Amino acid sequence: MPESHPAPERFPVTVDVVALTVRDGELNVLLITRLIEPFRGKLALPGGFVLAGEDLLEAAGRELAEETGVEHLPGHLEQLGSYGPKGRDPRGDVLTVAHLLLAPDFPVLAAGSDAEQAAWYPVAEVPELAFDHARILDDALERAKAKLEYSPLGAAFCGEEFTIAQLRAVYEAVWGTRLDPRNFHRKATGTPGFLEEAGRMTTGDAGRPAALFRLAPEARPTAGQPTRAVLNPPLMRPRD
């Protein structure tokens, strides 16, 4: 790796997080409003500088917790990719490592008046973003769509237990399609290593009560480890 004698260049390194959730059938992304230049007043992805002695995922989790006021983040956090360092910040070269959070809907605390306010925005109506965050968001959406096809991570958008219909709503929101409830039910319950039955749902929902499911043990993250589990065969999104 290193071999050259001149002192290596050093770069400021940030982590950004594309946090996605599904609220009333729509895919939402968490954004903050910038209070300082550059891009003051614009929306941006939550994130911040990596501190000495921190690892990337750690930093991403910390920044997200700080900016949402949420102690323990729900859902699944993974690295998306790195961008830069050239020409993405007008103040100079900054390398950013983008991350992706797939999470059930969680409330964002109101920030103090001097803090950047984080809030959920439907991805369909996201206005212009600061820096190269539009591109990062694009990549994140594509990654999320792909993840749903071949991994059990659609369930990361749901709570511990969920109905097939709730899971289907996730797929529909992320993919932006409608899926046949009957075929989806067959496929989701029929894929080995994906779901496991739990109890019963009664609630006051209209219609027949639905069975509750949870992730099968093989598909659950073990001790913080990401889950390499794979949906086989995959649950492919319709392409025309």
Residues that bind DNA in the complex, under the rule CB under 7 A? 163-165, 180-183, 185-187, 189, 202, 204-211, 233, 235-236, 238
Can you tell me the distance from the alpha carbon of 8 to that of 18, in angstroms, rounded to the nearest whole number?
Answer: 30
Can you tell me the distance from the alpha carbon of 85 to that of 96, in angstroms, rounded to the nearest whole number?
Answer: 7
Task: Report what 164 binds from DNA, its own copies, none; CB cut-off 5-8 Å by kind.
Answer: DNA
CB of 150 to its own copies, least distance (A): 8
CB of 55 to its own copies, least distance (A): 5
Closer CB to its own copies, residue 159 or residue 233? 233
Q: Does 97 bind its own copies (CB under 8 A)?
A: yes
Among 26, 33, 56, 218, binds its own copies (CB under 8 A): 56
Can you tell me the distance from the alpha carbon of 101 to that of 73, in angstroms, rounded to the nearest whole number?
Answer: 9
CB of 234 to DNA, least distance (A): 7
Any residues with CB less than 8 A from the CB of 216 and at least 6 apart, and which? Answer: 152, 193, 194, 195, 196
Task: Report what 163 binds from its own copies, DNA, none; CB cut-off 5-8 Å by kind.
Answer: DNA
Burial class for 113, CB neighbours closer than 10 Å (0-12, 13-18, 19+) = exposed
Contact 7, 89 (CB under 8 A): no
CB of 28 to DNA, least distance (A): 21
∠ Cα 6 8 9 (to 5°): 125
Closer CB to DNA, residue 79 or residue 191? 191
Ordered alpha helix ranges (H), 75-163: 133-150
Closer CB to DNA, residue 120 or residue 213? 213
Residues 148-187 that bind its own copies (CB under 8 A): 150
Contact 98, 139 (CB under 8 A): yes
Contact 195, 154 (CB under 8 A): no
Q: Does 16 bind its own copies (CB under 8 A)?
A: yes
Task: Report what 53 binds from DNA, its own copies, none; CB cut-off 5-8 Å by kind.
Answer: its own copies
Can you tell me the distance from the alpha carbon of 56 to that of 187, in angstroms, rounded to the nearest whole number?
Answer: 36
Which residues contact its own copies (rule: CB under 8 A)? 1-4, 8-14, 16, 34-36, 44-45, 47-56, 58, 79, 81-86, 93, 95-97, 116, 130-131, 142, 150, 228, 230, 232-234, 236, 239
